[in-house]
Chains A and B, each alone.
Chain A
Amino acid sequence: GNSVTQMEGPVTLSEEAFLTINCTYTATGYPSLFWYVQYPGEGLQLLLKATKADDKGSNKGFEATYRKETTSFHLEKGSVQVSDSAVYFCALSVDTGGFKTIFGAGTRLFVKA
């Protein structure tokens, strides 16, 4: 079946530190991969995506590369800010006639000033 595993949180970093949140997946077919973010009090929103192997998604200084050989899609940012404090969800979507999206459990990030 299709599933997503991401590193457990919370992750606590100081401002300007380097961030990595690990994500691995299992999937039948050729999934698209996503990172969604949920800021406090807000709904989930797409952070970045990659639709095929070796694609790199990027947005707001965050990056993730679709690695088919390691079935991974790790999220990275070179210098985090307090405003990046949120819950980050790795997700995959496979077209089974409807693009059902499967989410990981989420990783909470706290960034200290």
Chain B
Amino acid sequence: DTGVSQDPRHKITKRGQNVTFRCDPISEHNRLYWYRQTLGQGPEFLTYFQNEAQLEKSRLLSDRFSAERPKGSFSTLEIQRTEQGDSAMYLCASSQDRFNTGELFFGEGSRLTVL
């Protein structure tokens, strides 16, 4: 299976700790997106990359959140000094702009629980 993969699938941490999530997109996809989903809500946009360039970041995103895609392939999302309100499912998605339809391919997500 060559879909989007995310790691770890589950992370439990104590408040104040740093956490990092990794996303490996579909190999030929040049766009990569991070979303956050809380219970009963739809995915909320966080940031996206085209190749290695971070082109947009949500204005609602705290400075404690940072994302990278250093070689235009995999991406990492780091949350520093975690808070209980950061508990959510973090979703990664990728797309290929060559087809220009906006269709996203999602991974299964990384669930974060902050105690």
**B-side contacts of A4, CB under 8 Å:** 42
Determine, out of A12-20, A66-74, A78-86, A103-111, the stretch whose residues face the partner at the interface. Answer: A103-111
- Interface flag for B48 (CB, 8 Å): yes
How far, in angstroms, from A91 to B93 measured CA to CA in the complex?
14
How far, in angstroms, from A40 to B97 measured CA to CA in the complex?
29
- Interface flag for A49 (CB, 8 Å): yes
Q: Interface residue count for A (Cβ, 8 Å)?
A: 27
Q: Once the chains bind, are B40 and A98 in contact (CB under 8 Å)?
A: no
- Interface flag for A25 (CB, 8 Å): no
**B-side contacts of A46, CB under 8 Å:** 103-105
Q: Once the chains bind, are A95 and B102 in contact (CB under 8 Å)?
A: yes
- Give B100's nearest chain A residue, CB to CB: A95
Known: A43-B106, A97-B55, A100-B56. A106 touches B42 (CB 8 A): yes
How far, in angstroms, from A89 to B44 measured CA to CA in the complex?
12
Q: Of the candidates B31, B40, B42, B106, which one forms a contact with A45 in the assembled complex, judged by CB atoms under 8 Å apart?
A: B106
Q: Once the chains bind, are B41 and A105 in contact (CB under 8 Å)?
A: yes
Q: Once the chains bind, are B48 and A34 in contact (CB under 8 Å)?
A: no
How far, in angstroms, from A46 to B4 measured CA to CA in the complex?
14
Known: A42-B108, A97-B55, A98-B56. A104 touches B42 (CB 8 A): yes
- Interface flag for A102 (CB, 8 Å): yes
- Interface flag for B50 (CB, 8 Å): yes
10 more contacts with CB within 8 A, not counting A32-B101, A93-B101, A106-B42, are A34-B102, A42-B108, A43-B107, A44-B43, A44-B106, A45-B106, A93-B102, A96-B56, A103-B43, A105-B40
The 7 closest A-B pairs by CB, nearest first: A93-B102, A103-B42, A99-B102, A43-B108, A44-B106, A43-B106, A32-B102
Residues of B within 8 A of A (CB): 4, 31, 33, 35, 40-45, 48, 50, 55-56, 91, 93, 95, 97, 100-109
Residues of A within 8 A of B (CB): 4, 32, 34, 36, 42-46, 49, 51, 89, 91, 93-106
